[in-house]
Amino acid sequence: MIYRGRFAPSPTGPLHAGSLVSALASFLDARAHGGRWIVRVEDVDAPRTVPGAADEILATLEHFGMHSDEPPVWQSARGDAYRAAFERLQATGLIYPCGCTRREIADSLVNAHARHATLAYPGTCRTGLHGKPARAWRLRVPDGDAAVVRFVDRWQGAQTQDLATEVGDFALKRADGLWAYQLAVVVDDADAGITHVVRGADLLDSTARQIYLQQCLGVPTPEYLHVPVVNNGIGEKLSKQTGAAPLDRNAPLDELVEAARHLGIEAPAASLETFYSAATAEWAKRFAR
């Protein structure tokens, strides 16, 4: 096996302590396996993209000693690949247009006496648009046992999700015309030959959808490892929305030592080189036997 991993930041702002943990974990896993590590700029969500943020992220990664082994991939340049995958699914009848607004979905869940406040799409438009204009395009998930996706996460252990009851038919093309994250990430991982996905545990919940989509597209499923997310002082996931501070570009080693500690790794801060070799060795003991 030729290990290929990736770090896939969304350029919605500068890197912070939380995104550094994901970057570092994916980098260490690639190094521990003697593999390649590729950066992908996830700018498919154009309205959320902050001008200049992607270049700043790439510069910070370089400055912190994490160099992409191949030129970074930009999602904004990959529309043709997403369209081709979408059309393949369309040809097999697996996707359908949906005219529901968020409000209508919420209302129909209440009407169905949905006991759990999950946002599983109830499949209203499976049988047609009922005279409404098409908004999003959804992928049909199977019913019954076939909807249950199981996988073993290398950090979090055995996972199970019932796509039918916990997620419902999910959007591949959004109401605003943009490709959905789930489609983009699956097509990108497949085209880049990614064998191992290492990322934050906030995405654990998306993994079953991605595995199902891989099966629909006939592409391999990578190994997954989801690292614990970094929370702020009041238990919220660190993000730009919760006021995460950008990384201190003047103190890369301090920031890296802190990120490693979050992963349960103590590594010396003498130089970037000694830090990375010690951290890689520690990671390898746990995750690359």
Residue 183 to residues 71, 80, 103, 217, 229, Cα–Cα distance (Å): 22, 12, 24, 10, 23
Query: By CB under 6 A, is residue 8 in contact with ligand GLU?
Result: yes
Among 203, 217, 281, 284, binds ligand GLU (CB under 6 A): 203
225-259: b or e for each residue (b if 16 or more CB lie within 10 Å)?
Answer: bbbebbebeeeeebbbeeebeebeeeebbebbbbb
237 is in an annotated binding site: no
* CA distance linking residue 289 with residue 282, whole number of Å: 11
| Cα-Cα-Cα-Cα dihedral sign, residues 14, 16, 19, 25 | positive
Provide, rounded to whole angstroms, the least separation between the CB of residue 208 and ligand GLU: 13
CB 180 within 8 Å of CB 86: no
121 is in an annotated binding site: yes
CB 216 within 8 Å of CB 93: no
Choose between 147 and 185: whose C-beta lies nearer to ligand GLU: 185
Among 3, 10, 164, 222, binds ligand GLU (CB under 6 A): 10
Residue span 40-79 as binding mask against ligand GLU, x where in contact by CB under 6 A, dash where not = --x-------------------------------------
Provide, rounded to whole angstroms, the least separation between the CB of residue 9 and ligand GLU: 5
Binding residues for ligand GLU (CB under 6 A): 8-10, 42, 185, 199, 203
Residue ranges of the annotated binding site for ATP are 240
Residue ranges of the annotated binding site are 6-10, 42, 98, 100, 121, 125, 181, 199, 240
